[in-house]
Amino acid sequence: MSAEDGPAKTPGGASERDRFSLVAALFDEARGLQAGAVRSAFLEARCGDDRDLRAEVEDLLELHAEGGTLAQDGGSAFESSWALDALAKEVTGFESGELPAVPVPERVGPYQVIKELGAGGMGRVYLARRGGADFDKSVAVKVLRPGLDDAAFLVRFRAERRILAQLDHPYVATLLDGGATEEGLPYLVMEYVEGKGLIRHAEDAGLDLAQRLALFERVCEAVVALHRSLIVHRDLKPSNILVTAEGIPKLLDFGIAKILEPDQVEGTVLNTQTGLLLFTPEYGSPEQSRGEVITTASDVYSLGVILFELLSGQRPYAFPTRTPASIERVLTEVQPPTMSSVAPRNARALAGDLDTIAAMALRKEPERRYGSVALLLEDVRRYRGGLPVRARPDTLGYRATKFMRRNSGWLAAALVFLVLVVGFAVTMALQAERTANQRDLAAERAEIAGEVSRFLVDLFRVSAPDESVGEQITARSLLDRGANQIKYDVQKDAGVRSALLDAMGRAYFSLGNTKEAGQLLRQAEALLSDVDSKRAERASIRVQIGSLEFQEGDGVRAEATLRGALADLVELHGPIHREVAAATRALSSVLGELGKLDEAIELALSARHMAGSMVPTNVREQVAAMVLEARHREAHADFEAAEELLLEAARIQRELFQGDHPDAAETLRALAVLHKSQGRLQEGTAAIEEAIRIDTEVLGADHPNVDDDRFTLAALYKESGLLKKALALNVEILERERERYGDHPYVALDLGNIGGILVQLGELEEASQHYTAALEMQRRVLPQDHPEIATTLSNMGVMHRVAREYDEAVPLFEEALRIREATYPGDHPAVLTSRNSLAMSYQDQGRTEEALELAKKVLEGREAKLGVHRETAGSLYAVGSLLDALGRSAEADGHLSRSIETYRAVLPAGHLDIARPIAFMGSALLRRGQNDAARPYLEEALAMRRKKLPPEHPDVVRLEESLRSMTQ
């Protein structure tokens, strides 16, 4: 048997022109059919599953049917690309210079034509005016050529219109209007830019180096705006950038630009395979010449060429012939010269950082260029501000990469220490540079930075593989060795010792060693207590101490410390400063944990805006503030806003890093936790598995970040009812962290998590052993009455409730409540949770009236503090169950119904928490003999639990038994 003909499809490697031809053929057939069911059936049969193909044809049919104005949803700019002219020639037979004479029309739509500005293979552009009280200025009107109003060019027209409809930037030519002529030819109305091309303007205006760089910065700002709108230009060149007499650049010509999908910063773009290249070779990228995937990295490359020409007066390449093969060979194989080598008169000014910036933008491999135009722009600004640039010469990067790969074991072990201490040394050097007008202070800080650097070199000399044969080098062992050196070296200046202690303390803190971190940080601050010139350094150290104090369980003290440090930093540095932003974010984090969510969100927003106002923009600080704000909004049950923030943070990180990075993994971890709260467990699991992959590949399988990721994965397993998988993973984490830390709060937390899973599995004796071990360790390593101790006590109370040991449970809940009330405000969610647990425990003892009174107070607190929230729904459920126990059925049903409604409002359909009040309502109605009313509740709850839980789960079994009892 022969196979039947299937629906028409475009082969995976088909060219854009092939695609256009297919769209054109379908368009021509479909427009002759009656609109409605007949045309829809035709498209369904011919397009099959190719939804994009059908959408393109339907767009053209809609455009054909309109036959009128396009101004409602956007328009286009100038399609001056030589590549499109070539494509037009294939359709019409005319080169740009061969266009047959066409009389200049008197009008185009409502616009009076003044003169022709230019013509190309795609059409003609006219200078025009539209008189009237509301609109009286010159505009540029482009009219598509007769003969090109078929599907292929209407597709291009439509795509460009969509692109410009998204853009609103002072350095991008503005779309004003659009429509169709009386002959049916589409036209587009753009802002008329009276100016010169970028290079011509720079030459005619006699711009010096600094002025050219300032102009280039503005061009980059326009391209950054495109990329943030998910648009890649693909044809950046000086002739597409007009500069007005006032020096304002305007970016033009989006004829071959591409809108990326919202979830795809690196957007796939098809090139033709007909010998036509949809870009200008002199400014195109190697990947464009090869017809590969085009991303924002291609625009980075084009800007590198423009920068090269703008500063040196020469282009980096010459093409012996203009065949595709010749163009590809030059762009992919020929190394560009340095700017300084082709511009001898400016060689001294261009050599060094400017040569390095251009060379990085012009790297052959997209992944090795600047990760975004924003980063290129930042480096240009850093150069102009006299700061070190981020770009580095090519060979150094290669050598460093190869060295790290050869010595990955011992370098990875010391990574945290290296990053923090080197980062500190660099910061001190920059501070010295920025305070050059304060010579004494600058010299002192430079000396301190030098001492830190020498200390680091000495420490690593004895830690290198050839100096420490037979010794296992770990980050902790390096820290211990360094701390001992500082402790016994009393000859150093107080400022130097403080700087070293601060660096070591931060490194210990990053590894979770709060005890050692606290000792070192407090010593560092004490050394500067009487040195007035060191107020900024003291305030920075106090930010770390404030965060540490919260980890130690003293939230009130932590808040006071951070507020004081922030006030000092604002006074010393002003409101916009890196240190101020970091302190603001630290205070926001603590306030969020203390339940002061409104102020916490305001501070996170402030930190985010602060980072965006810095020069250069501190993108990583911005993203960190976004992730923090998202966590606060999640705690506020504003899940939608939290998700938007995290997705935007992830998008920025993809563009910033252009590859895997631990920051991106942290954002994915936050997204996984959010999805867990939303009940979107599969999405949460996918997110955290990707975080595990990134952290494992970048940091190594034994890095603490990987265990943080696995910890979240285990929580998702537990929430999904996969208790044995959760248990196995938690045991693995426990063993690794026990080996890594010894007695430590993280290890105690692992023991407690295992205890909780064992309770759910019914292994109460083993659960008790784990909880007891966790509590004993916490009492050894944490301050008295730390909140984590309260968590373990409360979980032990739950265990005793499950075991029906009610008298043992109550004192544990009471002790947990006492600790939390001493740590947090009275309306903090943790305090309210403890009160709610105690109320349920009172009910277990038969103290139902007392339990109801306490549960109602909790409900009032949650409604006032949280409003419509998951925890409010839990309180409604608790009060409803207590009212039912007292026989107050009508009141009970009202609270239970409100609980169900609230859960449905804040959680996705099918979430297991929603099933709790539904199941209870069904069981209550069943106990009252109202079987018909009970059945739908029981069936709905059972259906929800069957989707999430294994068949043998007790919650599933109980509901099945209840439903069976109704038929007996």
pLDDT digits (tens, 9 = 90+) for 909-938: 888 889 999 999 999 999 999 999 999 999
Residue type at 199 in one-letter notation: I
Any catalytic annotation for residue 235? yes
Residue with tokens 């070199």: 457
pLDDT digits (tens, 9 = 90+) for 60-113: 676 555 443 222 232 222 223 333 333 333 333 334 344 445 678 888 888 899
Name the percent of the chain lying above pLDDT 90.
Answer: 28
pLDDT of residue 354: 93
pLDDT of residue 145: 67
Q: What pLDDT band is residue 620 in, cutting at 50, 70 and 90? A: confident
d(CA 754, CA 729): 10
Task: Give me 290's structure tokens.
Answer: 């090869």
d(CA 639, CA 641): 6
Q: What pLDDT band is residue 256 in, cutting at 50, 70 and 90? A: very low
pLDDT digits (tens, 9 = 90+) for 572-610: 888 888 889 899 999 998 888 887 888 988 899 888 888
Q: What pLDDT band is residue 501 in, cutting at 50, 70 and 90? A: confident
* Domain locations along the chain: 1-66, 73-191, 195-391, 407-526, 534-642, 721-823
Do the annotations mark residue 237 as ligand-binding? no
Contacts of 779 (CB under 8 A, 6+ apart): 789
Q: What pLDDT band is residue 211 in, cutting at 50, 70 and 90? A: very high
Please answer whether residues 26 and 9 qualify as being in contact, where contact means their C-beta atoms are separated by less than 8 angstroms. Answer: no
Mean predicted confidence (pLDDT) in 791-802: 94
d(CA 521, CA 524): 5
d(CA 437, CA 811): 64
pLDDT of residue 850: 94
Residue with tokens 């339907």: 58
195-391 placed in CATH 1.10.510.10: yes
pLDDT of residue 439: 46
Half-sphere exposure for 715 (CA within 13 Å, toward CB): 21
Mean predicted confidence (pLDDT) in 622-631: 91
pLDDT > 90? residue 847: yes
d(CA 686, CA 681): 9
Mean predicted confidence (pLDDT) in 245-270: 55
The string of DSSP codes covering 800-869 is HHHTT-HHHHHHHHHHHHHHHHHHS-TT-HHHHHHHHHHHHHHHHTT-HHHHHHHHHHHHHHHHHHTSS-
Task: Give me 507's structure tokens.
Answer: 């490194």
Task: Give me 380's structure tokens.
Answer: 């240009």
Please answer whether residues 271 and 277 qualify as being in contact, where contact means their C-beta atoms are separated by less than 8 angstroms. Answer: yes
Q: What pLDDT band is residue 666 in, cutting at 50, 70 and 90? A: very high
Please answer whether residues 73 and 161 qualify as being in contact, where contact means their C-beta atoms are separated by less than 8 angstroms. Answer: yes
Q: What pLDDT band is residue 710 in, cutting at 50, 70 and 90? A: very high
d(CA 51, CA 747): 52
pLDDT digits (tens, 9 = 90+) for 30-52: 766 656 655 676 677 677 777 77
CATH superfamily of 534-642: Tetratricopeptide repeat domain (1.25.40.10)
Collapsed DSSP state (helix, strand, coil) of residue 594 = coil
Collapsed DSSP state (helix, strand, coil) of residue 108 = strand
d(CA 533, CA 540): 13
Range list of H helices, 574-618: 578-593, 597-613
Among 243-257, 329-343, 519-533, 909-923, name the one with the lowest average pLDDT. Answer: 243-257
Please answer whether residues 857 and 882 qualify as being in contact, where contact means their C-beta atoms are separated by less than 8 angstroms. Answer: no
pLDDT digits (tens, 9 = 90+) for 358-399: 999 999 988 888 888 888 998 898 888 777 787 766 543 333
Q: What pLDDT band is residue 2 in, cutting at 50, 70 and 90? A: very low
The string of DSSP codes covering 336-362 is PPPHHHH-GGGHHHHTTHHHHHHHHHT
Which residue is catalytic, options 235, 568, 708, 913? 235
Q: Do domains 195-391 and 721-823 have the same CATH topology?
A: no
> What's phi and psi for 5, nearest 5 deg?
-65, 130
Residue with tokens 């599933």: 956
CATH for the stretch 73-191: 3.30.200.20
Measuring CA to CA, which residue among 619, 612, 618, 630 is closest to residue 671? 630
pLDDT of residue 374: 86
* pTM tops 0.85, yes or no: no
Of 552 and 191, the structure prediction assigns the larger pLDDT to 191
- Level-2 CATH architecture, domain 721-823: Alpha Horseshoe (1.25)
Measuring CA to CA, which residue among 476, 544, 472 is closest to residue 737? 476
Of 868 and 713, the structure prediction assigns the larger pLDDT to 713
pLDDT > 50? residue 197: yes
Name the percent of the chain lying above pLDDT 70.
Answer: 73
Among 315-324, 483-492, 513-522, name the one with the lowest average pLDDT. Answer: 483-492
Among 34-48, 181-195, 318-332, name the one with the lowest average pLDDT. Answer: 34-48
pLDDT of residue 823: 82
pLDDT of residue 162: 57
d(CA 704, CA 278): 47
Please answer whether residues 720 and 751 qualify as being in contact, where contact means their C-beta atoms are separated by less than 8 angstroms. Answer: no
Among 133-142, 740-749, 889-898, name the one with the lowest average pLDDT. Answer: 133-142
Measuring CA to CA, which residue among 63, 1, 78 is closest to residue 31? 63
CA dihedral angle for residue 599, residue 602, residue 604, residue 607, rounded to 10 degrees: -120
